[in-house]
């Protein structure tokens, strides 16, 4: 009997400690922003929190969803991967932050969705663009400077090139990763 009481009290203690630890975690904020370009809707959704010593919010979940604006049918989605969780972090963190959503047309009138992403670093590989088809399929990125993808190059130039811009619509997400009250829309 004493053994059962000991096991039960150990179990209760463990549950209470886990609950106390969980309550000390930073609160998650659900964030969302969207951009509608012609017949496409692009939505950024994330669960973010204020990480100790880090300016702005860090996100533990982040995704892009591409849908048909007329009927909201989801065409594609991308879920960003988290980095391995450090012992001192409340949650695992997605290192990539989306700064811009841009819908563009190339000079050949091909339509693409371009995202500008960074990981907070200060290097050649720390800021890049990803190019998606009009249906939200990832085509490629300009992150790998050695690979030359003509479609990626044309879409990035249409989004950010000084002489070749052909923007259908754009969403600046600079404030998306700020605290409460800044939701990105």
Sequence spans of domains, the chain: 27-172
Q: Is pLDDT of 171 > 80?
A: yes
Residue 76 has pLDDT above 70, yes or no: yes
What's the average model confidence in pLDDT over 51-66?
Answer: 91
Handedness of CA 126, 129, 135, 137 (dihedral sign): negative
Nearest to 93 by CA among 122, 123, 50: 50
Residue 79 has pLDDT above 90, yes or no: yes
> Are 178 and 50 in contact, with CB atoms under 8 Å apart?
no
This prediction has a pTM of: 0.80
Q: What is the pLDDT of residue 5?
A: 52
- H helix or E strand, kind and range, residue 18: helix 2-23
Residue 181 pLDDT: 53
Between the alpha carbon of residue 130 and those of residues 2, 24, 53, 65, 116, the distances in Å are 62, 36, 29, 14, 7
> Residues 17-58: pLDDT tens digits?
454 355 578 899 999 999 999 999 999 999 999 988 888 899
Residue 85: which pLDDT band, with cuts at 50, 70 and 90? confident
Asked if the model's pLDDT at residue 12 lies above 60, the reply is no
| CB-based contact 102:88 (threshold 8 Å) | no
Q: What is the pLDDT of residue 91?
A: 93
Residue 97 has a pLDDT of 94
**Cα 5 → chain centroid:** 48
What is the C-alpha R_g of the chain?
Answer: 21
Q: Give the integer Cα–Cα distance in Å for 138 and 90.
A: 31
> What does the DSSP assignment read for 84-141?
PPPTT-SS--B--EEEEEEEEE-TT--EEEEEEEE-S--STTSEEEEEE-TTS-EEEE
Question: What pLDDT was estimated at residue 147?
Answer: 75
**pLDDT of the residue at 65:** 97
* Interval 130-168: pLDDT, tens: 999 999 999 999 887 777 789 999 999 999 988 878 989
Residues 6+ apart with CB under 8 A from 122: none
């Amino acid at each position: 009997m004493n053994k059962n009481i000991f096991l039960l009290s150990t179990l209760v203690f463990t549950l209470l400690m886990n609950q106390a630890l969980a309550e000390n975690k930073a609160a998650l904020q659900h964030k969302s922003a969207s951009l509608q370009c012609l017949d496409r809707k692009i939505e950024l959704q994330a669960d973010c929190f204020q990480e100790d010593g880090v300016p702005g919010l860090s996100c533990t979940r982040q995704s892009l969803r591409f849908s048909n604006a007329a009927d909201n049918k989801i065409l594609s989605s991308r879920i960003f991967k988290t980095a391995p969780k450090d012992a001192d972090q409340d949650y695992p963190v997605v290192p990539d932050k989306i700064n811009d959503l841009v819908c563009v047309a190339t000079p050949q009138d091909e339509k693409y969705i371009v995202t500008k992403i960074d990981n907070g670093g200060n290097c050649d590989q720390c800021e890049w663009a990803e190019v998606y088809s009009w249906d939200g399929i990832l085509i490629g990125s300009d992150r790998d400077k050695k690979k030359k993808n003509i479609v990626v190059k044309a879409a990035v130039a249409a989004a950010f090139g000084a002489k070749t811009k052909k923007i259908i619509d754009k969403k600046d997400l600079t404030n998306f990763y700020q605290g409460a009250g800044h939701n990105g829309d």
